[in-house]
């Protein structure tokens, strides 16, 4: 029964549909902050995840809040991650608010956001786009923490009895049976899992709103989320059944260990269902690699962190035994657990490294997103946790083994204290993980934390640094620093900046910057009224010197100076995954050789797994390199003067008729295309170079984009 359920979960993993984490805005037409010269026929928004159509929609409002005639919105038949809202009449000039809400078909998260676009040149610039989750029950992160912590303990506790606690009996501690306190721990974890499991369903129903009973039924029908909830329920009921059988089996019967292995397999299957509904299973372009890494990460965490509470309780059980038996049993127990934990820690570190790369993408996002800061907090907790584990492995275990034949109660007490400390830290790490599952991944977060746009230029003997804050269309603070090798600039110098919009002729605006101090000039201005790239020409006029000018470019194309969503390069993901698998296989092989206490059969089995992992890793790396040869993971065209000139010629001949001369999606043929051509100024920064190259070379299915 256990094997059948585990195989079923694995098959569910194989059939898992590729998606992305949280249904957040990926691309839109019209784009956030875009200024249109002609009325659009529709609003189309592509999100990072497939949607539940009945719970996702778009509304368009005028500046006064009046709904625009059109709709209702519907899911794009060609792309289940996109919504379309069609207008029923032509829009007049003005600023329009697009309000959207989505419900993920995978993790069940509700998300909403707004942005504005302008129709007409003379219309004031809009405020930046915003997005956030629905204001749902604040208990969700805690429920996710409880669910994950309980599942880890179910796996770690079951394996502890199957593998580790047997060392107590072989050391002579026959009075300590294979159940007792650890069984109570497992029942407590099962209760916690059940509470969290049902609580998450209720939380999802409350987020949907409306009649609560109907909302519960709707939640169970939420695509992948509902399927995983049902599968998780089935596996959990099977685990409870297996544990009931264990409660009725006498400790001396040989079949007991077999049932503990079955319970361990079912607990591992529970963690698979959690991984299939996580950010890892929803990382666009990397789903197979991130999901498999997350499954391995959770399994290893269950062996290590999930086994710590069972180890602590077993050490407490040993206190009822005579001191010599207690010391011998504790030494065997610590050696057995440390052997498992060492390998588990290696898996946790390697797979955690891969997960951090997949979900963060860029180091600046660690400090610009809530996900990044929470990950930093988690890492800050992992460091002392690893340190305590190292102390137990390198210092406490050898001392305990030496004390096994003599007086060693102080060492035994220290071991208990360290294991308790490890357990509490592991609980905190799992808590941080629970919060991470409720946050938008840093890779896909279009952050609002960038406070300014900066640019620099070099004159003959001076360096200019211009800072525009907050770096959005509308009022800004201009700060200019001039570092002149000849000495401080004359305080009486005249410094001005002439701004010109780069995408079309909107005239030129001059801003005079008064001196704030030696080499520092600043002014407030509202001339940057349109989102997009601007050319800034800095003019410096000082007594006794020739006038100097420097040209800079500032880009206000992303709302509020935000960092755009970065999609992962699948080739990079496969190469890194295969490299980590090779490293893990080598580490496992070395570990099996170093563990002299391993039984010969166990050693051969572990080494066989290491060889298989090495073969798969090398094969995957070779496949990634072969794929790179067939389709480069980087743009193979060097951006030199010749290629840029040829690209400009080809664009004018082949692309401008749809995308327009400036790439704004307003070419002569744009009105006849469905879906309409994208605004390249907005969309190009959202895709890796390799993906853009493939778009141009192979075209885009479902659109008029030819190969």
In this structure, the number of other CB atoms found within 10 A of the CB of residue 37 comes to 13
* Residue showing tokens 């970065």: 566
Selection from 498, 549, 556 nearest residue 531 by Cα = 556
pLDDT for residue 191 is more than 90: yes
pLDDT digits (tens, 9 = 90+) for 491-508: 778 889 988 877 655 667
* Residue showing tokens 């891969």: 354
Query: What is the mean pLDDT of the segment spanning 266-275?
Result: 90
Asked whether the beta carbons of 249 and 255 are under 8 A apart, the reply is yes
pLDDT for residue 122 is more than 50: no
Contacts of 9 (CB under 8 A, 6+ apart): 231, 235, 269, 272, 273
C-alpha count within 13 angstroms, C-beta hemisphere, residue 632: 10
- Name the band, by pLDDT with cuts 50, 70 and 90, for residue 560: very low
- Per the prediction, the chain carries an average pLDDT of 74
Give the Å distances, CA to CA, from 552 to 12, 53, 459, 465, 478: 53, 45, 11, 9, 13
Helices 255-276 & 2-14 angle (0-180, nearest 10)? 20
pLDDT digits (tens, 9 = 90+) for 327-370: 777 777 777 787 788 888 888 888 888 888 877 867 777 777 77
Asked whether the beta carbons of 590 and 548 are under 8 A apart, the reply is no
pLDDT for residue 213 is more than 80: no
Query: What is the mean pLDDT of the segment spanning 155-160?
Result: 88
Question: How far is it, in rounded angstroms, from Cα 126 to Cα 426?
Answer: 47
Q: Give the DSSP H or E segment for 481.
A: strand 476-484
Question: How far is it, in rounded angstroms, from Cα 644 to Cα 651?
Answer: 10
- Name the band, by pLDDT with cuts 50, 70 and 90, for residue 5: very low
- Two tokens, residue 397: 């275990």
Q: Give the single-character DSSP code of 130.
A: E
Selection from 662, 639, 635 nearest residue 651 by Cα = 662
Which one has a higher pLDDT value, 49 or 313? 313
- Name the band, by pLDDT with cuts 50, 70 and 90, for residue 175: very low
- Beta-strand pair 74-75/57-62: unpaired
Give the Å distances, CA to CA, from 474 to 127, 528, 594: 8, 6, 65
Q: Give the DSSP H or E segment for 60.
A: strand 57-62
Which one has a higher pLDDT value, 474 or 149? 149
- Name the band, by pLDDT with cuts 50, 70 and 90, for residue 529: low
- Please give the pLDDT value at position 135: 45
Give the Å distances, CA to CA, from 176 to 80, 169, 251, 291, 337: 57, 7, 10, 39, 17
- Beta-strand pair 462-469/515-517: unpaired
Kindly provide the residue ranges of all beta strands, DSSP E only, lying in 63-109, ordered along the sequence.
Answer: 74-75, 82-86, 94-103
Asked whether the beta carbons of 495 and 530 are under 8 A apart, the reply is no
pLDDT digits (tens, 9 = 90+) for 621-634: 777 666 555 555 55
- Please give the pLDDT value at position 109: 67
- Please give the pLDDT value at position 158: 86
In this structure, the number of other CB atoms found within 10 A of the CB of residue 476 comes to 25
In this structure, the number of other CB atoms found within 10 A of the CB of residue 460 comes to 10
Tell me which of 431-440, 466-475, 545-554, 640-649 is least confident. Answer: 640-649
- Name the band, by pLDDT with cuts 50, 70 and 90, for residue 204: confident
3-class secondary-structure state, position 280: helix
- Could you tell me how far CA 680 lies from the centroid of its own chain? 26
Query: What is the mean pLDDT of the segment spanning 607-620?
Result: 83
Kindly provide the residue ranges of all beta strands, DSSP E only, lying in 545-678, ordered along the sequence.
Answer: 548-555
- Phi and psi at residue 378, to the nearest 5°: -65, -45
């Amino acid at each position: 029964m256990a094997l059948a359920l585990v195989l079923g979960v694995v098959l569910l993993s194989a059939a898992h549909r590729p998606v992305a984490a949280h249904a957040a805005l990926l691309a839109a037409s019209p784009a956030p902050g875009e200024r249109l010269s002609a009325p659009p026929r529709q609003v189309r928004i592509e999100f990072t995840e497939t949607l539940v159509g009945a719970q996702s929609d778009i509304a368009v409002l005028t500046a006064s809040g009046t709904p625009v005639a059109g709709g209702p919105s519907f899911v794009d038949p060609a792309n289940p991650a996109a919504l379309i809202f069609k207008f029923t009449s032509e829009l007049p000039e003005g600023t329009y608010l697009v309000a959207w809400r989505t419900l993920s078909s995978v993790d069940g998260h509700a998300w909403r956001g707004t942005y504005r676009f302008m129709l007409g040149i003379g219309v004031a610039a809009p405020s930046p786009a915003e997005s956030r989750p629905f204001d749902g029950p604040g208990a969700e992160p805690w429920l996710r923490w409880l669910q994950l912590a309980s599942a880890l303990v179910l796996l770690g506790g079951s394996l502890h009895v199957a593998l580790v606690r047997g060392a107590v009996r072989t050391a002579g501690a026959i009075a300590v049976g294979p159940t007792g306190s650890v069984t109570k721990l497992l029942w407590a974890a099962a209760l916690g899992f059940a509470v969290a499991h049902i609580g998450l369903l209720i939380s999802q129903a409350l987020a949907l709103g409306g009649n609560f009973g109907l909302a519960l039924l709707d939640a169970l029908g939420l695509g992948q989320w509902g399927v995983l909830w049902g599968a998780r329920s089935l596996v959990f009921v099977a685990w409870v059944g297996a544990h009931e059988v264990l409660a009725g089996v006498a400790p001396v019967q040989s079949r007991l260990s077999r049932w503990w292995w079955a319970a361990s397999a079912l607990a591992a299957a529970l963690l698979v269902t959690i991984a299939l509904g996580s950010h890892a299973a929803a990382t666009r372009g990397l789903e197979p690699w991130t999901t498999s890494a997350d499954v391995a990460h959770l399994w290893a965490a269950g062996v290590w962190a999930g086994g710590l509470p069972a180890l602590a309780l077993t050490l407490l059980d040993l206190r009822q035994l005579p001191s010599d038996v207690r010391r011998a049993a504790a030494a065997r127990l610590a050696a057995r657990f440390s052997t498992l934990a060492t390998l588990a820690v290696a898996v946790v570190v390697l797979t955690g490294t891969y997960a951090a790369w997949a979900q963060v993408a860029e180091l600046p996002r660690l400090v610009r997103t809530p996900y990044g800061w929470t990950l930093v907090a988690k890492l800050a907790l992992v460091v002392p946790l690893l340190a305590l584990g190292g102390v137990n492995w390198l210092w406490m275990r050898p001392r305990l083994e030496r004390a096994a034949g003599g007086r060693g109660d102080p060492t035994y007490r220290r071991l208990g204290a360290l294991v308790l400390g490890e357990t509490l830290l592991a609980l905190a790490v799992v808590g941080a993980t629970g919060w991470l599952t409720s946050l938008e991944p840093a890779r896909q977060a279009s952050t609002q934390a960038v406070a300014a746009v900066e640019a620099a230029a070099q004159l003959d003997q001076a360096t200019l640094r211009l800072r525009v804050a907050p770096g959005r269309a509308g009022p800004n603070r201009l700060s200019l620093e001039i570092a002149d090798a000849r000495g401080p600039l004359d305080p009486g110098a005249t410094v001005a900046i002439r701004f010109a919009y780069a995408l079309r002729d909107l005239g030129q605006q001059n801003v005079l910057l008064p001196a704030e101090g030696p080499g520092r000039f600043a002014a407030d201005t509202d001339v940057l009224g349109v989102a997009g790239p601007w050319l800034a020409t800095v003019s410096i006029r000082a007594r006794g010197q020739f006038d100097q000018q420097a040209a800079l470019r500032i880009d206000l194309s992303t709302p509020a100076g935000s960092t755009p969503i970065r999609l992962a390069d699948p080739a990079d993901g496969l190469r890194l995954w295969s490299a980590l698998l090779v490293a893990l296989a080598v580490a496992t092989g070395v570990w099996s050789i170093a563990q002299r206490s391993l039984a010969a059969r166990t050693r051969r089995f572990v080494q066989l797994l290491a060889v298989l992992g090495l073969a798969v890793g090398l094969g995957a790396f070779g496949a990634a390199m072969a794929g790179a040869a067939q389709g480069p993971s980087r743009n193979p065209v060097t951006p030199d003067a010749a290629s840029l000139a040829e690209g400009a010629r080809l664009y004018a001949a082949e692309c401008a008729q749809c995308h327009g001369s400036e790439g704004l999606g307003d070419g002569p043929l744009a009105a006849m295309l469905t879906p309409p051509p994208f605004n390249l100024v907005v969309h190009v920064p959202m895709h890796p170079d390799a993906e853009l190259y493939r778009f141009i070379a192979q075209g885009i299915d479902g659109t008029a984009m030819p190969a």
